[in-house]
Structure 1
Amino acid sequence: MTKDLPNVLADYGAAWLEPVADTRRALLDACWSDEGVYADPNSMAVGRAALSDLIGGFHAKMPGARIELTSGASAHHERILFSWRMVTAEGATALEGVDFGRLAPDGRLAEITGFFGPPPGGLTGAPRRKLRKTMPQPMTLKTRLADPSARLTMHICTIPSATVTQAIAASGADSVVVDMEHGAVDHASAHAMIAATAGTSCAPMVRVAENDPVQVKRALDLGAEGIVFPMVRTAEEAQRAVASLRYPPHGTRGFGPFIAQSRWGTGLLDHRETVDGSLVCCLLAETAESIENIEAICAVPGVDMIVPAQFDLSTDLGISGQFDHPDFQAALAKVEAAAGKAGIALGNVALSKAQADGLFAKGYRVACGFDVLWLRAAAAEAQSWTG
């Protein structure tokens, strides 16, 4: 029996709205052909199960966001065309696009090819048209970190390479941290690395060299979605960090997003309204003093994530690298308890699935890695193949 197009599109739209896998799969059974192919600029899925998993990944990475159809369908010769938009949990339109599709003989969808944003202009000889304003890309990491069920990845990028950062972002990573504390990264490289995450759901963070509003301002004005603050020892220092992420009257950030506006698709004057309150504040607890004050630090409003930095913390405790030492374990437990009580996301280094599973089992939400360590480990493994 041939299915009717309005019902097929209604089921397809409902499938994108459905967070429950079994219900979503039932909707796709009704509207998606056995070997249907979905493709957009970031992903591809073949078959119902793969498309269901892709939609599930969208809900996991962007809790509360939804895809809405914004038009009916134009159709001819088993081809269809319709438009849609992505709406954030806060109700803002984050992205618009157009889908082209092909119908199977039974009327279900056999193929969808999605395009993000309006069609490009500039054809030779074509009349000049006023370009539509680019829709802001959503800043979602803050929301995802606040989800107690979240399991996220964050990769520290010490290599000054937009190519490396782009590859990590394209892998599906939740966040990258451009490392301006310990990495070989200058401001020009940082800008290129942040820009390389555009078009993905990977959030570009920057680790600054110190808790300095000037350094924070420069990183945010390059387009960073948040800042990793090292060596935060007291609640007062945590308050200073939070304030540096926001514009007056809520904070101390100076206004100058001449570069950042392009990364987030805003205008210069509406950038403040778009990003203020959406930037991520991650603090590193890496000294004995920070452990003593961790409850007060976690009580500071606006802190999104805490990382008990193993290397610096163990070194400051006088037991460098001795992560099984009772003093280090006691310090770690104190951070975990304080963050858990405050509902703040915890992150730490995991260079294997077993390490990540261990962190998640203890309530951590973020598993962190390093680009240079991933690269070295992969190269060493390849070398081992030679015998």
Structure 2
Amino acid sequence: MSAAFSTFAPPSRPSLGAVHTIPEILGQPALWQATWEGLRWEAKDLKAFMTEALQASDREVVLTGAGSSAFIGELLQGCYSRRLKRCVRAVPTTDIVTNPEECFAQDVPTLLISFGRSGNSPESIAALDRADECLSDVRHLIITCNPGGDLAKHPTKHPRAVFVLPPAADDKGLAMTGSFTSMALAGMLMADLDCLEYQGSRVRLMAAAAERLLSSEGGRFRELARLGVRRAIFLGAGALKGAARECHLKVQELTNGSVMCSYDSFLGFRHGPKAAIDAETLVVFLFSGRPGQKAYEQDLVKEIRDGNLGCFRLGVGAGLAPHEGPEATITLDEEGLLRDEERAICGVLVAQVLGVELSIAQGLSPDNPSPCGSISRVVQGVTIYPRAHDPL
């Protein structure tokens, strides 16, 4: 057993182009604790805002963001539906900007929860404005890592509240790492502010799981980086499908697209996408802790095993029973105490570490893996046009 990035000592990181990204990944357990502490400080005002917003029994909740920030909504949608007992939708800002009449087809009371690392993506601001234009009764909850960003400062026509995460959450590396998991955590906790003290014990469980992964699985990731992986497929259900989507983007970003990635649910994967597995494909199973889902997961695992598909199969969480062949399990939670949304946040670290290992193995710089600038820390070149009232 060895720690993640143990072969990349701090003095070597400048030459590797990993001054920011490696510490930002390793610092997540502490960042999660700090995020919970920050919510405790602001719980009174946030609770008052959420209580007022949710007094309307027909108020919908829309979770939004762009890129990785949009995937936070996908990860949390089921958690919010279950806890709030109301309609919850994950809708990217990129859809709201271009198709607001479809995203807000009915003028119903809405709580728009916006996630943004820098808060400077043009779509983030435009989505607030589109919601104000389309909805007569909307509340805005903004969760961001940058107190000076446009999202945190933008005035809205309807009531709003802003939660800014601890400074360490504002990643300096190109790929979102601690910003993604800490915003997802803050969003998860925001759905249950009445039980924030109890939630602190859940955060400690998550941090302990992440610490175990980061302190003991470094060798596993180094082995995977030497396999010549050219494709990676991440599978999960419910909250873990949202995590799978973030995982696929993380590895693809950090390798500048040299490792092409996809994601799906366990059941959905059979309906065509399974054809993408070839001899250079890594298949990653993000296993659920829910008994009702495990049978579906194991059926697909057996099918992929029987076909000897992929160059390696990696199980994240209990679920991949011992078996001969190129595969391994990374255990998150031996006691089975983590909920699926908590597993999802922890499981994203697998793709973060793997992405960095693959990036360095390919001679790229994890802090800025796109030498030609095709992707950047804050999206560039987006022009926001006035809302067009097209005939529907």
Higher helix share: 2
- Structure of higher RCO (CA pairs closer than 8 Å, 6+ residues apart): 2
Higher strand share: 1
User: Given the two structures, how large is their TM-score scaled by the length of structure 1?
Assistant: 0.26
Higher Rg: 1
